[in-house]
């Protein structure tokens, strides 16, 4: 069977080959710099929630300015921040937009930390969460995350739901028609108010 590569596939393959050729030189230069300079330590916070986070939002209304100012005032400065939120990246997108407006000037890296709560629990009845840390270096990473989350589906009754705010809100309204909050936290919180099963 004969396969043919598209122009895009050939372009990607060419870039990967070029990267492989320069990698050894790049690594040698990086190692030399490290050996001459020694270790450098930077402060990272890979798991920090923001105002409007889905669960346990303790920031209060109109708290964005105070939140950003507190992050900017931390000593030593935060060089990398993982903006955590359950099942999505809405608060990450807000922090990223603020960074593009010259907030968090000392922070070199902001990345999404998508937190998901599993239906199983610990022997003490606590929830088990997983975290998806995403590399933001691709300019298209927000769209790629949204696509990936929409493909993450689960079945409740006879309906499939994707991991998107509209789908989770629809699920929330199906589980409790009295819900009025459009944020997907409404349904997620209702789904997980019972204690998880021990594994």
Q: Are strands 109-121 and 78-86 parallel, antiparallel or unpaired?
A: parallel
Distance CA 111, CA 84 (A): 9
End-to-end CA distance of the chain: 47
Cis omega (within 30 of 0) on the bond before 20? no
The predicted-structure confidence for 128-185, as pLDDT tens digits, reads as follows: 889 999 999 999 999 999 999 999 887 888 888 888 888 888 887 777 777 766 655 4
Least confident among 6-10, 40-44, 95-99: 6-10
| Helix or strand holding residue 110 (H, E) | strand 109-121
- The token pair that represents 186 in the structure block: 């409404």
| Core vs surface per residue 38-69: b (16+ CB within 10 A) or e | eeeeeeebeebbbbbbbbebeeeeeebeebbe
Rounded to the nearest 5 percent, the helix, strand and coil shares of the chain are 40, 25, 35
The predicted-structure confidence for 89-121, as pLDDT tens digits, reads as follows: 999 999 999 999 999 999 999 999 999 887 777
Residue 96 is predicted with a pLDDT of: 95
Least confident among 19-28, 36-45, 89-98: 19-28
């Amino acid at each position: 069977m004969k396969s043919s590569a598209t122009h895009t596939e050939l372009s990607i393959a060419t870039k990967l080959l070029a990267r492989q050729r320069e990698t050894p030189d790049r690594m040698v230069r990086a190692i030399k710099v490290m050996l001459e300079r020694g270790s450098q330590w930077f402060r990272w916070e890979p798991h920090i929630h923001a105002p409007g986070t889905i669960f346990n939002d303790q920031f209060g209304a109109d708290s964005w300015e105070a939140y950003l100012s507190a992050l900017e005032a931390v000593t030593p400065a935060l060089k990398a921040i993982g903006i955590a939120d359950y099942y999505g990246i809405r608060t990450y997108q807000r922090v990223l937009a603020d960074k593009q407006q010259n907030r968090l000037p000392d922070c070199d890296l902001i990345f999404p930390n998508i937190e998901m709560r599993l239906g199983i629990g610990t022997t003490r009845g606590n929830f088990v969460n997983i975290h998806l840390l995403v590399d933001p270096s691709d300019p298209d990473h927000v769209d790629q995350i949204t696509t990936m989350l929409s493909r993450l589906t689960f079945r409740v009754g006879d309906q499939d739901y994707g991991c998107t705010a509209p789908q989770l809100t629809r699920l929330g309204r199906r589980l409790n028609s009295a819900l009025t909050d459009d944020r997907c936290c409404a349904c997620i919180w209702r789904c997980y108010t019972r204690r998880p099963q021990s594994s």
